[in-house]
Structure 1
Amino acid sequence: MIVAEKMETGAFPTDWQERWRVAHERIDHAGYGVGVAQAYRRAGPILAEHAGPALAVRLGSTISTVAIRGGRRSAQLLVDAALQLARNADDPAQLRLWLDLVEDVAKRAPESIAHWLTHHEQLWKTLGFEGMVAFTRMGLAISRDDRERRRAFFSLVSAEARKLLEQRADAASFPGLLPALKPYLAALWNIAPPIAQTPIDAPEIMKRRAGFGGGGIRLPSSFTGFSDEDQKLLFRASLAHIGAHHRFTRTRFPATGLKPLQLAIVSLIEDARVERLAIGEMPGLFDLWKRFHSARPEGTPIAISLMARLSRALLDPSYEDTHGFVEKGRTLFEEAVAANIGDQQLSRRIGGLLGNDIGQMRLQFDAKTYVVQPAYRDDNLAIWDFGDQSEQAIEIEAMVEGARLEQQDAEDGRREEGAGAEKQAGSVHEASSDEGIFVARYPEYDYVTGQLRPDWCTVREFPARHSAGASASALAQSRSDLVDKIAAMIRASRVSRQERIRHQPEGEFLDIDACIAAMVAWRAGEPPDTRIYGRYERRARDMSVLVLLDTSYSTRDRVRATDVSVLDTEKLATALLARAMTEVGDPFAIAAFCSDTREDVRYLRIKDFERSFDEYALGRLAGLESALSTRLGAVIRHAGHDLKRRSSYRRLLLVVTDGEPSDIDVDDRKYLVEDARAAVHELNRDGIDVFGVTLDSDAESYAQRIFGRRGSVQVRSINRLPDVLPMIYLRLAS
C-alpha cells in the first residue's frame, strides 16, 4: 500500500502532493463506491502528467458534484471520459473548460449526465471539442420541464440530436462534398440531376444508402463506420453506380408477383450487369467499386451474407468462393453476359432462379432490415414498377422521393437543378389553399452556441381573413397621388442585367464588329462609320419583390405622433406599393406572419406572384388583424424559399415590421434577433436582397442589427414612402 501510494503521488510536484492526498481521500470516504475511488486514484497521476496537477485535483471536486447529482455510474463515466480527453486534447485548457461544462450539465440536467458521458467520445470525435460544447449547450437550452426530450437529446436518439451529428460540416460529409460531387457525376455520365441529402425524418434504412428517382438523387449525410477517406470515395462510388443505372437500366422491372427476396436478388444481378457495362467504358471504376466489396468465402451461410459474396463474385474475377449458390450465380451470369449483356431481362431470369434456390435452402430473409451491400450501391427501389400491387409498395416508393427535388428542363432536355431546388435549409411540403396546414420546418440559429438547431421551427400556412367592406375600398382608392409618384419612381429605375449596346459614337469599349466594318470601308476608299464604340446600359427592370408584413400583437401600437396603428400603416403602405407595381407590371407577392411558439409560426398568403392584385387580394390585405408574437427568422427563411423559385435578375424581400422579434417561449430577446439576422445573411448568400422597413412606434427596434444599417430604413409617415423606396431600388441597381 505504501508503494502504491508513492507511485500515485510521484506524478505530482512536491507542493501538490498533499493536496492530491486530501483530494483522493475525500473521494475514498465519500461513499461513492470502491470503483469510483479506485478509478480516481488511477486517473489522477495520468491526468497530472498530461494536463497538470491542478486539473487532477480539480477533477475530485467535479466527481463529487456529478456523484451527488447524477449517481455513482455517472461519476465512474466521468473519470473514464476525463482520461480519454486528457490523452487526446490538443490543449490542456480544453480540459478546464470541459470540467466546467460537466458541472454545468450535472447541475442543470442531472437526469441526462450519464447519457451525455456515455456518448462523450462519439460527440468529441464527430464534432470536435468546440462542436461538442455547442451540442451540449443546445441540449441544456431545452426546458427543464421537458426532461424526457432532454434525455432523448443527450442519448442521441432524438431527431434533432441525430441531425446535428449527421450534418457535421467536415470534408467527409455530404454538405462538405456536394460542390465536388455534381461536376464529378457530370464528368462521368454527362447528367446533372439535383442531388439532395436524405431527410431527417426518413426511415433509418433509407439514411444508410443512396437512392434515385423522379429525376433526382438522394444521398445519406454520411456512411457510418467508414473513415473520412473511404467516405469521400463512397460518395463518388454511389454516384458512379447510380449513373450506370441511368445509362443502362432502360426500363423499370414489373414487381407484380415477386417476393421481397426475389426483388433483392434481381436488383443485385442488375447492379452487377450495369457495373460490368460501365467498367467496359471506364475501366477505372473497377478499382473504385472493388474497394468496398469486403465479403469473404467463410462464415455461416445466411441469405444476406451469400448475397454479399455473390455481389463480389460478379464484380471481381479474382475472387474465389466454392459455395454452390455463389458458383451457380456466377456461372449463370457469365453465360448470359457473354450471350447478350445488353439484355436487361437477364437480371430478371437469373434473379428468379437464385431467389428460388435460397428459398429451398430455408434461409431467412428479413426485408424490413435488409440493407443493400456493399455500401455504395443504392436501395434499388427506383428500378422497380410497383404499379397498383399494394398500398405498402406505393408508400415505399413515395418514401424514396422524401427529399422533394424540384427540377426544370435545361436547354438540352436533361433534368437539372432549377432555381427552386430544395436545399437543406428547410424541409418543405405542399400546403392546402383552404386551411391552415403544416408546410415546412426550418432551422433556428442559437447565438450562444453558434450553431443552427435543425428543424426547430414549424411553419403553418393559414388562409387570410377576407374583408370586403369600407377598409378594402379605402386601400384601393386612397392616396392616388402617392401611387403615381411611386409608380414613376419604379418605372424610372433600371434594376436588370447590363446589356451591351453596340454601334455607338462613344462608349466604354470598342465594338469589334463595327471596327472591322470601318476598316474594310476605309481600305475600300469609302468613308468609314465612326460609330465603333459600345457601352453598358440597363434598359429595363427584371426583379421580383415579396412584401412580408408583421401582424404580431405589438403592431396594435400607434405610429409615433399619430393616431394610426402600425398595422393600419403597414396595410396602407403595402397597398400603395402594390398598386404602383401593378401599374408598372413588376411581379410581386404579399404575405403576412405572426407566431405562437416555435411549433406554430403562421404564414398568411395575401397575393402570390402568379395572381393579380385584385379585389380579393385587397380584401385579404384589409382583413389582417394584430395577434400573437413575432418569430421573424423562420418566416424570412420561408419567404426566401418562395423567392428562390423566381428566375429574376434581382429578388427582393421587403419586411415591414415594428422591428421587435419576440415569442412567448423565448426569454432571451437577443436570441430571436440573432436568428433573424442569421436568416437575412442566409438569403443574402443565396442572392436574395432583404430590406427591413420599420414603422416608428413605442416598440424597441432591432432593425439595424437584423438587416444592417444599409438594409433598413425607418418610416414615420406614409408620405415618406416615395423618399424611402428609391434608396432600396438604387442599392439593387448598383
Structure 2
Amino acid sequence: MAASTTRGKYVISSHSQEPAQEPGDPDERLVFLINEGKHLFPNEYYPLWETACGKLSHAGYGALIPLSYARHSPKLVKILNSETAINFAATVSLAAIKVNRAAAELLPKAAVIAAHELKSTQAFTSWVTTIEELIYNAPESLLAVLERTQKIVSTLTPDQFRAWVLTGLRSTGDDALRQINYFSFTDPESEKWFRHEAGDVVFTDLDRRLKLYLLSLWSLRPPIRDLPASTSPLSLRRISISNGVVRVPEVFPGFHGEQAEKIFRAGLAHVGAHLVYSTKIFPLGELKPIQVALVSLLEDARVEYLAIQTFPGLRTLWQQFHVAKPSGPKLVPLLLSRLARALIDKEYKDKDGWVQKGRDMFFDPQNDMTDPAMCRSIGVLLGNDLGQLRAQFNAKTYVVEPAYRDDNMGLWDFGDQQGQEEDSDGIFIEAMRMDREEVEDDSSSEQEQDQKENDEDEQQYHARESTDSEQRESEVAVRYPEYDYLTGSERPNWTCVLEYFPDFGDAYKIERILEKHNNLVNRITKLIQTAKVSLPERLHRQSVGESLDLDACVNAVISRRMGDTPDPRIYSTTERKHRDLSVMVLLDISNSTNDKVQVSGTSVLELEIQATSLLAYAMSELNDPFAISAFCSDGKEDVHYYRIKDFNSPYDTRARAHLAGLHGKLSTRMGAAMRHATEDLVAQRTHRRLLLVISDGEPSDIDVDDQQYLVEDARKVVRSISRLGIDTFCVGLDAGGDNYLHKIFGRKNVAVIDKLEHLPEKLPLLYLRLTA
C-alpha cells in the first residue's frame, strides 16, 4: 500500500494517482502531458521544457519520474516562472541518480507545494538548494523530508529550513539511520530544533533566566531539566516534578514570543509554590481517577492562593492563562477547567451548580488553607457528585489545564501507602535541595556567587545549561552553544563540556624541569623584578613628568607672590605601581601532542608540560592570579576538560602532580574549551584578564567533516571573549598553522614556535613580554 501524507490541499504520495482522461500507456501519457504543457509555457520556453522531459524519459529512470515532472512542473509556471520549472528538471535527475526513484518521483509534487507556500522564485530557489544539499549529504532521508513538505514550508522560511537541515547533518554525522530518524521527526531532537528555527521560544533559550527567576521569587534552586525523550506525548506538554527534579517541556505548543516566555515563567512560579506549600504527598488509597484529578486541581489552587498572599502580582501572571468559558457541554475536562478558573478569578461567574459548589467549598471560612488535607476531602466529595451525574472521565487522555500547571504526579504516592501519611515530606523537601552542579559551595563564597549572578553584561555570555552528572561521580557537565558559519548563528546548548579529574603524575618531575633550565629560571627572575601590569596611576607633584600639575602650579605662583620659595615639583606623570593581571593557561592535549619532535625525540606534550612548568614558576613569582586547564574532545557531547590549577587554589604539589600526569588523546574542539575556560576568567576582577591557549593543531573532532566549521566557531568565541574585556593569545606549535591560527586569534595575537624544542625557553619569556 502506498504511503501518503495529506497536507492542506495537496496530497503527497510515493505513487502517482493518474487522472482518468490520461492514456493508459506510459509513453502515450507522457506525450499527452507534454502536449498539455503547450498551453502553459510561452513559445520560447516550451521547446526547452519539452527537451527536459525528453531527457528524463530517456535517462533510464523508469516511466514514473518523467511523468511526475511533466505533470507537476507546469504548475510551477503558474506560481513562479517558466525558467524555474525547466531548471528544476536537473534537480529531479540528481535525485534519481543519487537517491532513488521513489524520491525523484515525489520531488516534483513536493516542489509544487513549496512553490505555493513560498510564492517567490528566490525563496523557491533557496529551498531547492537545500534539497540538493540533502541529496548529497543525506540521500536516505530525502523521502522523509519530501513527505513532510507542507509542515516544513508552512512553518519555516527557506533560511530556517536550511538551518534545521544543517543542524540535522551536524548532529547525526554520517549515520544514515540517525539521519532518517531526525528528518522523519522520530528523534525528539528534530522537533526541538524545528521549533527553535521557527522562532518558537524553547526552554533552553530561557533556561538561565528561569532559574534566576525561581531563585529570586522563592529563594529556591532545584535541579531544572528539559523533559527526556522517552516521555509520553501528553506529558511532554506539561511541567513535571519527579524525584526532586523539575522537568520542563522544550516548548509549549501554541504559545509564541512574549506569551511563550510568560507561560514558562508562570509554570516555574507555580512549581515554586508547590515546593514551598505542598509539604505532604497524598496517598492514593482507593481514590478514583476523577478524584485524583480533582484533589490535584484543588491543591494547585491552594498553593496559588497562598502564593498570591505573599506576591499579589502572581495572580495577574497566572490568571491570564485561565480562558475557560462559563458555557458549553458538560464534559469533565471542560468542567475542571471552569472550576480552576473559578478558584483564581474573582470576577469569573459560572452558573453551573457543580462549579459553584466547588468554589463555595474551597473558600469556606472554616477551611485551613495551610493544610493540604482540605483538598483531599473536597476533591472526594466533588468527584462523587460527578459520578452521580454519570460524567465520563478518561484519565489516559486528560491533560491538566491551564497549560502552565504541572502534571501533579509529584503530589501522589502510587505505591504501598502504609504509614505514608506520617512520613510524606519526601519529594518536595528533596526538590528544595541545592543542585550540586548549580552551586559550588566549596570553591567560592556566597558573596562571590551573588556577584557573578548579578553581573548582567557577563550573564549574556553564559549561554549554557548545566546537566546531570550521573555518568561519573567526579564529573561536572556544562552545555554551551556552538557557531555555524553556514547559518551565521549559534545553536544553543550544542556541545557538552565534561570536567574530569586529572591523573596524578610525579610532582618532582616539575622540580627537575626547573633544575634542568636553571639558567633560564635565573633570567626569568631578573625580568620579573621589573615587570608591571596594572591600571596606570596618576602621580602628582613630581619633579619631572609629561604634563603640568595645575594645582601644584597654582600653589607655586601663590608662594612666589607671597615671597616664599615655590615648590619645584609642578609636574604630573602616570606610572604602573603594581601588577593587576589574571591568566588562564589552556593546554591542548589532543592525540597529536603525542608526536615526537625530530631533533630532541621528546613528545609535543612533554614540551608543553616543561614550558608550562617554567611559565607557572614565573606567574607564581609575580604573584599573578593564574589557572591552568587542559582539554581534548571525543565529539560534541564529550569535550574533556581538566582543571590542573584553579585561580583560588595554590600552585602546590597537588597541582604539579596534575600537570605531570597529563596524557595526549582524542581531538581538539577548541571553541567549547575556550568558552568553559572563560567562565573562570569572567569572575576575575583584575585590570587585565588573559586567556593563553597553547595548541599544536587545527580545531577538529570526530563528528565534524567540515574543516572550516570548528575554526569559525573558535573565531566566534575569541570575538565574544573580547567583548567581555578579556584578551586572548595563542602559542601555536604547528609550523604550518599560521593561516588558521591567524584567522581564529588575529595576526597580532599568535606566536608560532617553529622549533618546538625551544618552547620551554620561549613561552615564559613570551609571557613576560605579553604582560609587560
TM-score interval, normalised by the smaller of the two chains = 0.7 to 0.9
Query: Given that residues 193 and 217 in structure 1 are in contact (C-alpha distance below 8 angstroms), is that contact kept between their aligned partners in structure 2?
Result: no
The equivalent residue for 2:659 is: 621
| Superposed CA RMSD | 5.6
Closer, same or farther: CA 591–272 of 1 in aligned 2, 3 Å: closer
Aligned residue identity for 1:693: V
Kindly report which structure 2 residues correspond to 1:537-576, keeping only aligned pairs within 5 A, or say none.
540-557=578-595, 564-576=602-614
Q: Is the CA contact (8 Å cut-off) linking 2:299 and 2:375 kept in structure 1? A: no
Q: 2:141 matched to which residue of 1? A: 112
Which aligned pairs between 1:177-326 and structure 2 lie closer than 5 A? 199=226, 201=228, 208-209=237-238, 222-226=251-255, 228=256, 231-236=257-262, 238-239=264-265, 251-257=277-283, 261=293, 264-270=296-302, 273=305, 277=309, 285=316, 289-290=319-320, 293-294=323-324, 297-299=327-329, 301-302=331-332, 304-316=333-345, 319-326=348-355
- Which piece of structure 1 moves more, 612-621 or 389-398? 389-398
Aligned to 1:724: 766
Larger radius of gyration: 2
Amino acid of the structure 2 residue aligned with 1:624: L
Give 1:102 shift. 2.4
Distance 1:128 1:402, change over 3 A: farther
Shift of 1:150: 0.7
* Structure-2 change in CA distance of 1:92 and 1:422 (3 Å): closer
Describe how 1:389-468 pairs up with structure 2 within 5 A. 393=427, 397=431, 404=438, 423-430=462-469, 439-452=477-490, 457-468=495-506
Paired position in structure 1 for 2:646: 608
Q: Does the 8 A contact of 1:245 with 1:274 survive in 2?
A: no
Q: Where does structure 1 lack aligned partners over 5 or more consecutive residues?
A: 515-528
Per the alignment, residue 584 of structure 1 pairs with 622
Alpha-carbon offset, residue 688 of structure 1: 4.1
Matches of 1:91 and 1:176 in 2, distance apart?
Answer: 31
Shift of 1:397: 4.4
177, 190, 196: which is aligned to 1:161? 190
| Contact 2:634–2:667 (CA under 8 A) maintained in structure 1 | yes
1:268 partner amino acid:
D
Counterpart in the other structure of 2:401: 373
**Cα-to-partner distance string for 1:480-532 (whole Å, 9 max, x where unaligned):** 554466567667666566789999999999999x9xxxxxxxxxxxxxx9999
**Number of the residue aligned with 2:669:** 631
| Displacement after TM superposition at 1:684 (Å) | 3.7
Q: Is the 8 Å Cα contact of residues 222 and 432 (structure 2) preserved in structure 1?
A: no
Provide Cα deviations, 1:219-249, integer angstroms capped at 9, x if missing partner: 76543223x4xx4134235536755887999
CA shift in 2, pair 1:123/1:403, >3 Å:
farther
Contact in 1 for aligned 2:496/2:637 (Cα 8 Å): yes
Q: Which amino acid aligns with 1:354?
A: G
1:136-161 residue CA offsets vs partner (Å, 9 max, x unmatched): 23434577862211111112333543
Identity within the alignment, %? 32
- Deviation at residue 330 of structure 1 after TM alignment: 1.8
CA distance in structure 2 between the partners assigned to 1:244 and 1:417 by the alignment: 24
Q: 152-161 or 274-283, which moves further after superposition?
A: 274-283
1:15 aligns with one of 44, 48, 69: 44
> Partner letter of residue 370 of structure 2?
Q
The offset of 1:332, in angstroms, is 2.3
What is the distance in 1 between the residues matched to 2:355 and 2:548? Answer: 71
Aligned partner letter, 1:105:
L
Q: Helix, strand or coil: the match of 1:654?
A: strand
Q: Where does residue 179 of structure 2 map in the other structure?
A: 150
State the secondary structure of the residue aligned to 1:345: coil
- In 2, the alpha carbon distance for the partners of 1:199 and 1:73 equals 38
Q: Residue deviations 1:207-226, cap 9 Å, x none?
A: 64568999999976543223
* Partner-residue secondary structure (3-state), 1:253: coil
Alignment partner of 1:475 out of 513, 517, 528: 513
8 Å contact kept, 2:476–2:500 = no
Query: Secondary structure in 1 aligned to 2:656?
Result: helix
**Which residue matches 1:353?**
378
Letter of the 2:762 counterpart = R
State the distance in 2 between where 1:397 and 1:76 align.
55
Residue 389 (structure 1) shift: 6.5
Cα distance change of structure 1 residues 699 and 624 upon mapping to structure 2, 3 Å threshold: farther
Separation in structure 2 between the aligned mates of residue 457 and residue 282 of structure 1, nearest angstrom: 36
Cα 1:511–1:672 change in 2 (3 A) is same
Q: CA deviation at 1:353?
A: 1.1
Of the structure 1 ranges 554-563 and 599-608, higher mean CA displacement relative to structure 2 is found in 554-563
Q: TM-score, normalised by structure 1?
A: 0.75
1:692-713 CA deviation, whole Å, 9 max, x = no partner?
1223657777322222223222
Deviations 1:596-654 (A, max 9, x none): 45555433332233432222322332233444433323322333344445555554322
- Unaligned residue ranges in structure 2 (runs of 5+): 1-20, 23-31, 286-291, 414-419, 553-566
**1:133 and 1:389, CA in 2 relative to 1: closer, same or farther beyond 3 A?**
farther
Q: Distance in 2 between matches of 1:149 and 1:278?
A: 49
Residue in 2 aligned with 1:524? none
Q: 1:678 to 1:200 in 2, by over 3 A?
A: farther
CA gap of 1:657–1:389, structure 2 versus 1, over 3 A, is farther
Q: Residue 278 of structure 2 contacts residue 428 of structure 2 at CA under 8 Å; is this kept in 1? A: no
Counterpart CA distance in 2 for 1:220 and 1:536 is: 57
1:47 and 1:86 in contact (8 A); partners too: yes
Question: CA distance change for structure 1 residues 182 and 198 in 2, over 3 Å: closer, same or farther?
Answer: closer
Aligned length: 703
